[in-house]
């Protein structure tokens, strides 16, 4: 089926577009009252992810309000460790938690060798359903966490302020850490390939915690595994290339090596100037980003000014997908998101011939 709006896929491959495409990390989420309603109906967050009809419904909600150029599958990065038997749950107001934690080499060795694609068939079912409902309007993004980011949650047993336990495990047991990352990389490959087979038209690897590593540690414990994943992904869906986006939060210092990892686009958080990033990585990959998500609390006037400034910094030509530098937060007013999306389309036409 041909896509009515394919500017997102084109921009990722640095092809010419009419206006800069835009989507938002966490675009389906708690800032939308309709999301809060569906979540309440589902009972809890995992139930929402595990019921394809409900996951599809919340994926489509932001698209009914805003002219986003891509949809993103509604799920979570922690479904993989959950499928590995770690017992994911969401304590009210506390974020994700695991009933089991990884604290030794034996714990890593005990992780079951499961068929991720069949364990997570609720995700691939959601992908197929969303594709059907999108009916060729805009492309669908699939995603996974990076092995390093998944490992940090599995070792800590949840989120953390300083990742002391995960980093200590890495420093004291580098071999066990590598075995864990190896197992996770293999699961991520199967998982993303299953999403692509089910209809995902681009994929993003969320390396939310890559930026807590040292420069050397980043190469060895995070980037190496993302490279391996990228090299093993299906490259086509329905005769079209499936672009891969790597988003390492706080990875601004390592853009050159991320751009060389084999991905088509690098996601930027808000701490890097996108124009400077473009000069550094040249024509190698597209860039995605990078408005400070906190900007969405500011006035419409300030939001519009910031969108203009980011577009100007990137400059003329192809290879830019507009996004926030990280996910939207729950207290943002939905009206401000409309201002943001409209400003990207309105101001960006002058940067494309
Ligand atoms: O972008 C999207 O709209 C797709 C959906 C999506 C979710 N999580 C839904 C979600 C995506 C892409 C993710 C990825 C994810 N999950 C990451 C990587 C991206 C990032 O934000 O850094 C991480 C680290 C997680 C783990 C996770 N899941 C955390 C830390 C939390 C709690 C966050 C919070 O705000 O409380 C979740 C839960 C979660 N995942 C929610 C949503 C909409 C909120 C759950 C709720 O409804 O209560």
Condensed to tens digits (0 to 9), the pLDDT of residues 155-208 reads 999 999 999 999 999 999 999 999 999 999 999 999 999 999 999 999 999 999
Condensed to tens digits (0 to 9), the pLDDT of residues 230-270 reads 999 999 999 999 999 999 999 999 999 999 999 999 999 99
Catalytic (active-site) positions: 26, 30, 39, 76, 153
% of residues, the chain, pLDDT over 90:
96
Is 36 assigned to a binding site?
no
Q: What is the pLDDT of residue 1?
A: 61
Q: What is the pLDDT of residue 91?
A: 81
Our mutation pick for probing the ligand 1 site, out of 22, 29, 30, 41, counting the most ligand atoms within 8 A of Cβ, is 29
Q: Which two tokens stand for residue 251?
A: 């990875």
Contacts of 283 (CB under 8 A, 6+ apart): 14, 319
Mean pLDDT of the chain: 97
Condensed to tens digits (0 to 9), the pLDDT of residues 141-169 reads 999 999 999 999 999 999 999 999 999 99
- Half-sphere exposure of residue 36: CA atoms within 13 angstroms, side-chain side: 7
| CB of 268 closer than 8 Å to CB of 204 | no
Q: What is the pLDDT of residue 254?
A: 98
Q: Which two tokens stand for residue 4?
A: 């009515």
Name the DSSP class of 158.
B
Q: How far is the CA of 76 from the centre of ligand 1 (A)?
A: 6
Parse the chain into domains and list their residue ranges: 7-351
Which residues lie across from 248 on neighbouring strands?
Answer: 207
3-state secondary structure of 214: coil
Angle between helices 334-348 and 300-314 (to 10 degrees): 40
Which residues lie across from 287 on neighbouring strands?
Answer: 266, 320
| Confidence at 2, pLDDT banded by 50, 70, 90 | confident
Long-range contacts of residues 229-236, Cβ cutoff 8 Å, at least 24 apart = 229/144, 229/147, 229/185, 229/188, 229/189, 229/192, 229/205, 230/205, 230/261, 230/262, 230/263, 231/262, 232/189, 232/193, 233/189, 233/192, 233/193, 233/196, 233/203, 234/193, 234/196, 234/197
Can you tell me which residue has the tokens 């599809």? 56
Which residues lie across from 22 on neighbouring strands?
Answer: 322
Condensed to tens digits (0 to 9), the pLDDT of residues 17-71 reads 999 999 999 999 999 999 999 999 999 899 999 999 999 999 999 999 999 999 9
pLDDT over threshold 70, residue 117: yes
Q: What is the pLDDT of residue 283?
A: 86
Condensed to tens digits (0 to 9), the pLDDT of residues 232-241 reads 999 999 999 9
* Residue 204 CA, closest ligand 1 atom number: 12
User: CA nearest 317: which of 348, 280, 281?
Assistant: 348
Condensed to tens digits (0 to 9), the pLDDT of residues 67-102 reads 999 999 999 999 999 999 999 999 877 899 999 999
Of all protein residues, the one whose alpha carbon is nearest to atom 17 of ligand 1 is 77
CATH topology for 7-351 is: TIM Barrel (3.20.20)
Our mutation pick for probing the ligand 1 site, out of 27, 47, 75, 77, counting the most ligand atoms within 8 A of Cβ, is 77
3-state secondary structure of 172: helix
| CB of 127 closer than 8 Å to CB of 73 | yes
Of all protein residues, the one whose alpha carbon is nearest to atom 43 of ligand 1 is 29
CA–CA dist 138, 5 (Å, integer): 5
DSSP letters, 288-309, are EEEE-GGGGGS-HHHHHHHHHH
Strand order across the beta sheet in which 71-72 lies: 71-72, 140-145, 202-207, 244-248, 265-267, 286-291, 320-324
Residues with CB under 6 A from ligand 1: 25-30, 39, 45, 72, 74, 76-78, 95-96, 143, 159, 206, 208, 327
């Amino acid at each position: 089926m041909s896509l009515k709006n394919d500017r997102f896929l084109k921009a990722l491959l640095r092809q010419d577009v009419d206006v800069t495409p835009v989507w938002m990390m966490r675009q389906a989420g708690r800032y939308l009252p309709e999301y809060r309603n569906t979540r309440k109906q589902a009972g809890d967050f995992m139930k929402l992810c595990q019921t394809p009809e409900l996951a599809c419904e919340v994926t489509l909600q932001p698209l009914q309000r805003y002219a986003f150029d891509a949809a993103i599958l509604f799920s979570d990065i922690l479904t993989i460790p959950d499928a590995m038997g770690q017992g994911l749950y969401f304590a009210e107001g506390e974020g994700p938690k695991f009933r089991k934690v990884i604290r030794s080499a034996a714990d890593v060795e005990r992780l079951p060798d499961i068929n991720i694609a069949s364990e997570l068939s609720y995700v691939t079912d959601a992908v197929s359903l969303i594709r059907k409902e999108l009916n060729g309007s805009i492309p669908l993004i699939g995603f996974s966490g990076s092995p390093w980011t998944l490992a940090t949650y599995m070792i800590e047993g949840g989120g953390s302020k300083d990742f002391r336990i995960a980093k200590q495990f890495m420093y004291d047991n580098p071999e066990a850490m590598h075995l864990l990352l190896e197992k996770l990389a293999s699961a991520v490959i199967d998982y993303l390939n299953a999403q692509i087979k089910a209809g995902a038209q681009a994929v993003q690897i969320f390396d939310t915690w890559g930026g807590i590593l040292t420069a050397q540690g980043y190469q060895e414990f995070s980037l190496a595994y993302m490279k391996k994943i990228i090299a093993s992904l299906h490259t086509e869906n329905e005769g079209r290339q499936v672009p891969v986006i790597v988003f390492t939060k706080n990875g601004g210092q390592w853009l050159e090596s991320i751009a060389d990892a084999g991905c088509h686009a690098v996601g930027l958080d808000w701490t890097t100037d996108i124009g400077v990033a473009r000069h550094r990585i040249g024509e190698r990959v597209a860039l995605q980003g990078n408005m400070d998500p906190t900007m969405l609390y500011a006035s419409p006037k300030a939001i519009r000014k910031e969108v203009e400034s980011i577009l100007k910094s990137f400059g003329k030509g192809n290879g830019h997908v507009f996004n926030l530098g990280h996910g939207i937060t729950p207290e943002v007013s939905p009206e401000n998101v409309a201002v943001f999306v409209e400003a990207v389309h309105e101001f960006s036409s002058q940067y494309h011939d």
